[in-house]
Structure 1
Amino acid sequence: MSYVNPTDFVRKMIDAGEAKVFMSARDTVIRAYMAGAILALAAAFAVTVTVQTGEPLVGALLFPVGFCLLYLMGFDLLTGVFTLVPLALIDKRPGVRLRSVLRNWGLVFVGNFAGALTVAFMMAVILTYAFTVDPNEVGQKIGSIGTSRTVGYADHGAAGMLTLFIRGVLCNWMVSTGVVAAMMSRSVSGKVIGMWMPILVFFYMGFEHSVVNMFLFPSGLMLGGDFSISDYFLWNEIPTVIGNLVGGPLFVGLTLYATHARTSREQDAPLPAEKKIQAPAELSA
């Protein structure tokens, strides 16, 4: 059967986290760069479709194509490693330390940001004819997104910051569910279907994804968005990263690990000698 049961795919989650910890810095950054670039292209595509059709649901339905492609090619997003890599530490895999987890997160962040920034610049060039004309309708939309999701939060003060954080939590709850859903099937079609559903939910609901925002906000600044670099980091990227860091491990990684990996081991463990059923004398002779 194509379906993989929870006990088995949770083991795959732990194995994947361990493999990412020991990946070379070069491979980690390259894979993260490509993931950031592909997801940025998908975000640009989704915004373009939304503007041209006037229907946000259509853009959200098509956005997951980028996530599916980057996952199938083995590239890494910060949101995914937030959930998978700590499991190798919790499972006490040999050689996995907190510093190696933080190293992986740092390298993936740098790679994702570089990839997303590259596409942000390319899209700004395309939408302005190399900055010689005003942004077209798609460019204006990207700029307005940047403004509404930085200054828009700041206008509400602490309540805005809490809202931003919660949106980051909910985002990686859905995105990490997509990462795990891909491990539930052995077929490409099954993986794609599993990934598509939660990614559609996060994008349509307007949750905050740290890597998508690495594209939207730098490109928004290039396209005339009415906000600053400090607005971007303080009122979006940093709280979003923290929210993503909480949401994925807490609602996906730890819950699955606790109820499938740890529980299955407890059930499979041999009974203590005093609890073993004693065989009748005539059978043990």
Structure 2
Amino acid sequence: MAFYSPKEVAKLTVEGGVKKANQGTTELLISSFLAGAFIAMAAEASTMVGHDVAKYLGYGITKFLIGSVFSLGLLLVVICGASLFTGNNLIIMAYLSGRTTLKKMFRNWGWVFLGNFIGSIFVAYVMYKTNLWQANHYLVGASALKIANAKVNLTITEAFFRGIMCNWLVCLAVWAMTSARDIIGKVAVCYFIIMAFVASGFEHVIANMYYIPIGLFLKDHFQVVQAAGLENALSSLTWTSMVVKNFIPVLLGNIVGGAFFVGTLYWAIYLRESPVQVEETGLDINS
């Protein structure tokens, strides 16, 4: 077949999870730094492309275009090779199969989360220093500021459930990309699934490590605030609210969406009744 069957994908995901759980700390930090940077690049590009589309093509088409551009992020992670926290939620399949330990899984998640944050905020700072946010009479920066402010003003419940839906789709994208045997197949399945998550308005904790810090860097620039129409409306946009009101509930939602609705449920379907020792295939699943 031109693709791996779901059961074969389950076995490959277990194998990939074992490899990831056993990675050294230095390798984890470097590869996760890159993944955070790749997701941030996609977030930046989607902001640039979508910042003024709505007044010409409407809200729905704007979301579609933003989602289309953002799919670049996971493509870079998987095809170029990097470690993304949300995709690594699928390591739970290796744990449930008895191929790794809970300690190793949480160790991987911890280091990768840290590396993703460093990579994301690094790109946010670099983009801030480029002054490209001044483009189109500060409207690019205004769009970035609006996005950041909206994210820290979600309720805890909204952030949590949007986080679930996000990583349910992201891990399905990783799953589908693993099934594809060639680059074109991986690009095709990644595009449609990631576009759907972004266009829907779901919350991805790693992407938010770019979206919110860039807003925090811009909130003291009067021209940007004025262009965004947010004078006296940015009191919630702080580093503390970024963590408490967004990162924590979105992180928990992402774990539920990826580790349970994809990892655990597919393990239950394909591996629970007849656990197998996955043979080495030479396939490296970087996601």
Q: TM-score range by the shorter chain?
A: 0.7 to 0.9
* Change over 3 Å in CA distance of 1:256–1:121 after alignment to 2: same
User: Which one of the candidate residues 57, 60, 67 is aligned to 1:60?
Assistant: 67
- Tell me the residue number matched to 1:200: 195
- Tell me the residue number matched to 1:149: 151
- Tell me the residue number matched to 1:218: 213
**Superposed CA offset, 1:201-247 (max 9, x none):** 11111101010000011111001172111111111011111110111
Contact 2:212 2:242 in 1 (8 A): yes
With the length of structure 2 as denominator, give the TM-score of the two structures.
0.84
- Tell me the residue number matched to 1:112: 116
Give the aligned residue type for 1:254: T
- Tell me the residue number matched to 2:222: none
Identity %: 31
C-alpha displacement at 1:77, in angstroms?
0.9
* Change over 3 Å in CA distance of 1:235–1:185 after alignment to 2: same
With the length of structure 1 as denominator, give the TM-score of the two structures.
0.84
5 Å-filtered alignment, 1:76-115, equals 76-82=83-89, 84-93=90-99, 96-115=100-119
C-alpha displacement at 1:30, in angstroms?
0.7
Contact 1:127 1:139 in 2 (8 A): no
User: Which one of the candidate residues 175, 178, 203 is aligned to 2:173?
Assistant: 178
**Superposed CA offset, 1:16-55 (max 9, x none):** 1110000111111111100100110101101111114332
Contact 1:124 1:222 in 2 (8 A): yes
C-alpha displacement at 1:141, in angstroms?
1.1
- Tell me the residue number matched to 1:283: none
**Superposed CA offset, 1:146-176 (max 9, x none):** 11111x22xxxxxx21111000000000000
CA distance in 2, matches of 1:63, 1:102: 28
**Superposed CA offset, 1:6-25 (max 9, x none):** 11110001011110000111
C-alpha displacement at 1:264, in angstroms?
5.1
5 Å-filtered alignment, 1:252-271, equals 252-263=262-273, 265=275
CA distance in 2, matches of 1:112, 1:120: 12
CA distance in 2, matches of 1:197, 1:78: 21
- Tell me the residue number matched to 2:238: 228
- Tell me the residue number matched to 1:281: none
Contact 2:32 2:119 in 1 (8 A): yes
* Change over 3 Å in CA distance of 1:265–1:229 after alignment to 2: closer
5 Å-filtered alignment, 1:34-53, equals 34-53=34-53
Contact 1:7 1:264 in 2 (8 A): no
Stretches of structure 1 that go unaligned for 5 or more consecutive residues are 154-159, 267-285
Tell me which stretches of 4 or more aligned residues in structure 1 moved more than 6 Å: none
Q: CA RMSD in A?
A: 2.0
Q: Secondary structure at the match of 1:106?
A: helix
- Tell me the residue number matched to 1:240: 250
- Tell me the residue number matched to 1:23: 23
Give the aligned residue type for 1:116: S
- Tell me the residue number matched to 2:12: 12
Give the aligned residue type for 1:145: I
**Superposed CA offset, 1:80-121 (max 9, x none):** 111x2111111111xx22111111011101110000011000
Give the aligned residue type for 1:13: T
Give the aligned residue type for 2:91: V
Counterpart check, 1:75 vs 2:77: no
Contact 1:127 1:136 in 2 (8 A): no
5 Å-filtered alignment, 1:115-126, equals 115-126=119-130
C-alpha displacement at 1:198, in angstroms?
1.4
Give the aligned residue type for 1:149: K
CA distance in 1, matches of 2:63, 2:91: 33
C-alpha displacement at 1:265, in angstroms?
4.9
- Tell me the residue number matched to 1:275: none
C-alpha displacement at 1:263, in angstroms?
3.9
C-alpha displacement at 1:66, in angstroms?
2.1
